[in-house]
Structure 1
Amino acid sequence: MADIAALILAGGASSRFGGCKLLAEIDGRNLLQRSIELASGVLPGHVHVVTGAWHPQLMAAKAEGRLCGAEFIHAADWSEGMAASLRAGINNLTADYSAVLVLLADQVALTRADLDALLKAFDGHNIACGVYGRRRGVPAIFPRSSFPRLRQLGGDQGAKAVLYESTIPVRECSMPNAQRDIDTPEQLGAWQGSGAV
């Protein structure tokens, strides 16, 4: 699987959280490091994080050793929305990958089994994506043939546009865990209180 890059999108401002949720700690690790370790479990040595609003804070955390195991890509135009992070990620990969696994840093309930299911559903040419809340979404694997379309995305238009408009075959994986994300301190507290850490 070494020709697949993991691309963790972590460029948003976390406006509803009131701070940098990416560095909020859960069970001794911050949210972003948990995502890096999850992705590293299936694609070791090929994990990339796209930063944006909190880039200085994340680089400081990296220097302190609180973030490790990933290459960091800064989306300077992060304020445009998720499309900017996707474009920056695709355009600045450190190697000539044949596909990308796109994840969101705050999908706290994702498991290794979820990512393994996506990799199993990916045949090298199709798109494999999670389905939750009756909708397609990320995490998803996009083959190189879809990179030009990902680069065309604009505004806060995320990868879902490609999941629904693509002429490339899409294989769906039921993934209810992907529906759980962290947007507020209250959601973080509820997750920690659930014992699911």
Structure 2
Amino acid sequence: MNRTAALIMAAGASSRFDGCKLLAEVNGQALLQQSIDLVSGVLPDNVYVVTGAWHRELMQAKKKRKLSGGAFIYADTWSEGLSASLVTGICHLERDYDAVLVVLADQVALSRDDLERLLATFDGRNIACGFYHGRRGVPAIFGRNSFPRLKQLSGDQGAKAVLYETAIPVLECSIPNASLDIDNREQLAQWKG
């Protein structure tokens, strides 16, 4: 059995949100807490959160018990883009895990069933990724054989480039829920609506 960690990407500045969207309330809890709880349901005790721009605020929220669960990894290179934060997370986890499930903290509609189906698609040698809006994306599971390539990423594209390369087989899992994320306050209001 592959030892798999969940890596929640939560390092960005949320510039379109005008504030820390990770602590915005969704269904009575912080948006980030909802993500932590979701992935904890499928990978208990193996949940990590990559932080960056809002690290101080998130640590204060954790101290005040507004956030719980998960281990936090600070990406001091977060301003270089999503890839830099992903590289930080992979470097932190690669020694102890055979695979990493990458999830964005603001994918509010993801369900446990979505993640369980994705995990069932992963065999340890392939990449399993969500498929929505006619393209591949996260959530995605990358095995150890993907780590060297992930660590070469740069810029703000995240892992998308790796999902379209042919060196490692990529299996798609239809996850329409992954298409909904929160970028601004209007989207948050509509989601809560």
TM > 0.5 fold call: yes
C-alpha deviation, 1:157, in angstroms: 2.1
The 2-side partners of 1:70 and 1:95 are apart by 18
Q: Aligned partner of 2:173: which letter?
A: C
Secondary structure of 2:93's counterpart equals coil
What is the aligned partner in structure 2 of residue 155 from structure 1? 155
Instruction: Look up the match of 2:129.
Output: 129
Give the Cα–Cα distance (whole angstroms) in 1 for the partners of residues 111 and 93 of structure 2.
Answer: 24
Matches within 5 A, 1:1-197: 3-93=3-93, 96-193=96-193
- What are the Cα deviations for residues 72-109 of structure 1, in whole angstroms up to 9, with x where unaligned? 00000101100011001011128610000000000000
What is the alpha-carbon root mean square deviation over aligned residues?
Answer: 1.1
Percent same amino acid at aligned positions? 67
SS in 2 for 1:162: helix
> What is the Cα deviation at residue 68 of structure 1?
1.1
Counterpart CA distance in 1 for 2:36 and 2:151 is 23
**Partner secondary structure for residue 190 of structure 2:** helix
**1:132-179 residue CA offsets vs partner (Å, 9 max, x unmatched):** 110100000000010000000001121111000141111100111000
Q: In 1, Cα distance between the equivalents of 2:8 and 2:95?
A: 16
TM superposition score normalised by structure 2: 0.97
What secondary structure does 2:124 align onto? coil
Structure 1 distance, partners of 2:39, 2:186, is: 26
SS of the counterpart of 1:158?
coil
Number of equivalenced pairs: 193
Give the gaps of 5 or more residues in structure 1.
Answer: none
Q: How far, CA to CA, are the matches of 1:103 and 1:25 in structure 2?
A: 19
1:87, 1:94 → 2: CA distance? 10
